[in-house]
Amino acid sequence: MSVSISRSVAVKTLVSIFKDKAYSNIAVSSAFSNTEMSDRDKALASALIYGVLDRKITIDYVISSYVKTPISRIKPITINAIRIAIYQIMFMDKIPASAAVNESVNIVKTSKEKYNSSFTNGVLRSFLREPVKIPQGSDINSLSIKYSCPASLIESFVSDYGKETAVSLLEESLKKPPITLRVNTLKTDPSCLIKKLENEGIFSEIGEIENSLKILSGFDIAESSSYKDGLFHIEDLASQKLINLIGLKDNIRVLDICSAPGGKAFTMAEIMNNSGEIVACDLYEHRVNLIENGSKRLGIKTINAMINDAAVYNENFGLFDVVLCDVPCSGLGVIRRKPEIKYKDITDNEFKDLVNIQALILENASKYVKVGGTLVYSTCTLKKAENKGQISAFLDKHSEFDVKYNGEFMPHIDGTDGFYCAILLKNR
């Protein structure tokens, strides 16, 4: 009995993500590197994995209409085989429903859960005979099912931004995220890079801000010779806009206190024309290695990557012209890229700990800013307690800082990831 490799890999990867709490990008990368697959198979597997992650609550609502067993008690291979079939039938126009059903049944039949093959077939045939309707109301529960987002997260968005903006964020969260490159101006320019990428079958256009490119189609980072040659790095437009707002100059001293994997440090080094010094830190050695490897690939010589705890004062650092703290956060601005993030409980102690850590890092980072220097705080989340709430509390204690910029980048307005940044100037 033949089993679709793309669907089989999708099910195994979803099991890993849901059961083992693996990050989607890491789980997908691992699955693809450990399995011989064609580009077409990879594309389908990726579409199924991220599709199910995007629509999990919606899909589970559908499944629960046909089973008496709670979703959490259905065996992992079985439930994920059913999920990918439901996703194909509901959201992928070019795949016949019969193929989606048969392939999922075969996956279960050839697994250690083969005793559930009839159950899988029954659920899927019931769905085909009598499809359940998705609620279209505007109440929180209906929005949760329609947009596959936990009610607690929707309530948080509504509380912070109002219902209209919350719905816009939910709609945007299910769309394909843009891929933006930062051109390495130490080695090339946007026009030359567009031509080089086109020769590789990768199509792009000039981005919204200087030295950025927007990818249009045909992109595989690992296989790109332009990437290997250090002609660009991946960086969302919001992050690039932040770096442009700082007002960097040549030959200054910069501290990027939570730097890994290093994208912002790379952009700063390029803007500073490989001059001055950028001290780029992370708490873990393997993440510091990411910064070092990226710097080497890009030909950057001014980044000094090191292990350092951002929340503890380091008396050896001295003072800096610019201190950037891109703090650990709930990540709610990047759920288009990592949809599993939205299923985390934002009301638990882990979230409260994050807010405390952010405050500690911001307070500590401020000690490294020289008079006349700049303190930058940023997150890739849209939860105000982590953003404007942090800056407001900090400014209440630090009258020596003035606000240069304080605002969010919104996916549905700015075409970026959800992102927040504040730029503060130290006046005395």
Active site residue 149: no
Q: Rounded to whole angstroms, what are the CA distances from 178 to 197, 337, 349, 360?
A: 17, 9, 32, 33
Q: In one letter, which amino acid is 272? A: M
Peptide bond into 339 cis (omega under 30): no
Instruction: Please name the residue that has the structure tokens 């940023």.
Output: 378
Alpha helices in 299-405, H assignment, sequence order: 349-366, 388-397
3-state helix, strand, coil in the chain (%, to 5): 50, 15, 30
Output the six-digit token pair for 255: 């501290």
Alpha helices in 21-139 (DSSP H): 24-33, 39-64, 76-91, 97-109, 117-129
| Contact assessment for residue 365 and residue 326, using Cβ atoms and an 8 Å cutoff | no
Helix axes of 140-147 and 151-161: crossing angle, nearest 10 degrees: 110
For residues 61 and 71, give the distance between their C-alpha atoms in angstroms, rounded to a whole number.
9
Closest CA to 250 of 234, 232, 268: 268
- Structure-block tokens of residue 199: 């020769």
Name the catalytic one among 281, 325, 329, 380.
Answer: 380
The two structure tokens encoding residue 154: 């929707």
CA distance readout (Å), 123 to 81, 119, 120, 146, 196? 11, 6, 5, 21, 50
Q: Report which residue type is found at 223.
A: E
Sign of CA dihedral 359, 365, 371, 373: negative
Q: How many residues does the chain have?
A: 428
Active site residues: 380
